[in-house]
Amino acid sequence: MSLRRRFQFRGINAAQKRFIAMTVIPLVLYMAFWTLFPLVWGFALAFFRYSARRAGGPFLGLGGDNPFVGLAHFRAMLDFSPDAPLNVRTFHIGVKITLLFAALVVPLNLSITLPLAVLIESVHRRMRPIFRTAFFLPVLAPSVGVAIMWGYIYHPQRGLLNAILGKIMGHMVVINWLGDPRLKVWGIPVALFALIIAYLWQDMGYNLVIFIAALQSIPDYLKDAARIDGVNSWQMFTKITLPLLMPTIQLTAILTMISAFQVFDLVQVMTNGGPKYQTQVLLLHIYNYAFRFQRMGWAAAVSVVLFLMTLTISLIQSRFLRAQWEY
């Protein structure tokens, strides 16, 4: 007892101090160099016309051949005239497509995974892992592999989808799902829908297992009490399960949306933004301008915009969803 008190009174001793200094100082230096420094540099780049190929000024290659342009990139983004430069026009398309992609993916994902989780939970305990695996397996696969698989399914001549449609219709179907810019449904490019289906297929498993875990954490006595009161299974779902799942739904909605904003792998491999920029999401735009066209200043400015978009919408979303369930 007296020993414990001694330790409490002494607080941190010399050996502990040394231990902390030896571990935390490297951590601080590491974080400063690999996290803080790139962050500041990234914001700074947005105000320069920058290419890694030009030597530029003495400090980080800023200045000189990579001149400071102030807010020029951001001002250019506001040029909505039809004769705006190509990077500005494709940026506008990118914002629209990214928002559209997220706006379609989030509700579709949640409205499939939540009922699916309830269905899987309703079957016998021993059967659950089989179904869960069926829907979770794509999560474990690399998204590049997923993109290649789906590219083969959508192929106009060799693909499974057209073959199945051909069987149903009784004649040959040759639809270029990923490559025909004229194909649109409600003004939304079909190629984008095709990407969304592949994306949902790969991404569903995440929310599914989160919902299954949330369903399992609902205490049985609540359900039993409701059952005694003569509640049917639909009422059970809407009055008991759904309200209790609301915090989980809110969290998954935000997470799903943030990752939908960052979609890259599937798009780059399956369509590379085509046809005619119809599926060019913002991250692909950033990648192309930074690493293929060497316009890193512009790409950094677009990254800042994408960051602000993500931030704003997740703030709005968390507000909005909270208003619904905290009564």
Partner 1 sequence: MTVQSIRYRRIMYRWFRPAYIILVPLSLIAFLPFIWMILGAFKTGAEIRQIPPTFFPKHFTLDNFRTVLHDPNLPLLLFYRNSAIIAISNVIQVLFTSSLFGYIFAKFRFKGGNILFWFILATMMIPSQLTMIPGYLILARLHLINNLLGLIIPSAIDPFGIFLFRQFAYSIPTDLLDAARVDGAGEFQIYRRIVLPQMGPALATFGLLTFMFNWNAYLWPLIVLTEQKVRTLTIILTWYSTRMGNKYHLTMAAAVLVIMPVLILFMFVQRWIVEGITMTGLKT
Question: Could you give the 3-state DSSP secondary structure of residue 181?
Answer: coil
Write out the two tokens for 69: 């342009």
**Cβ proximity of 58 and 242 under 8 Å:** no
**Cβ proximity of 204 and 252 under 8 Å:** no
Radius of gyration in angstroms for the set of CA atoms belonging to the chain, rounded to a whole number? 26
Of the candidate spans 25-33, 79-87, 223-231, 239-247, the one that interacts with partner 1 by CB under 8 A turns out to be 25-33
**Cβ proximity of 102 and 261 under 8 Å:** yes
Of the pair 23, 81, the CB lying nearest partner 1 is at 23
Query: Does 52 help bind partner 1 (rule: CB under 8 A)?
Result: yes
Vertex 99, ends 93 and 105: CA angle to 5°? 130
Query: Does 88 help bind partner 1 (rule: CB under 8 A)?
Result: no
Of the candidate spans 67-75, 177-185, 205-213, 273-281, the one that interacts with partner 1 by CB under 8 A turns out to be 205-213
Q: Which of 29, 134, 169, 222: binder of partner 1 (CB under 8 A)?
A: 134
Query: Does 273 help bind partner 1 (rule: CB under 8 A)?
Result: no
Which residue, chain included where needed, has tokens 């494709």? 90
Of the pair 307, 320, the CB lying nearest partner 1 is at 307
Instruction: Write phi, then psi, for 170 (nearest 5 degrees).
Output: 85, 0
Binding mask 89-128 for partner 1 (x = CB under 8 A): ---------------------------x--xx-xxx--x-
Q: In angstroms, rounded to a whole number, what is the distance separating the alpha carbons of residues 313 and 121?
A: 32
Query: Does 25 help bind partner 1 (rule: CB under 8 A)?
Result: no
Binding mask 158-197 for partner 1 (x = CB under 8 A): xxx-xx--xx----x-------------------------
Of the candidate spans 78-86, 187-195, 234-242, 258-266, the one that interacts with partner 1 by CB under 8 A turns out to be 258-266
312 Cβ contact list (under 8 Å, min separation 6): none
Size of the site for partner 1 (CB under 8 A): 98
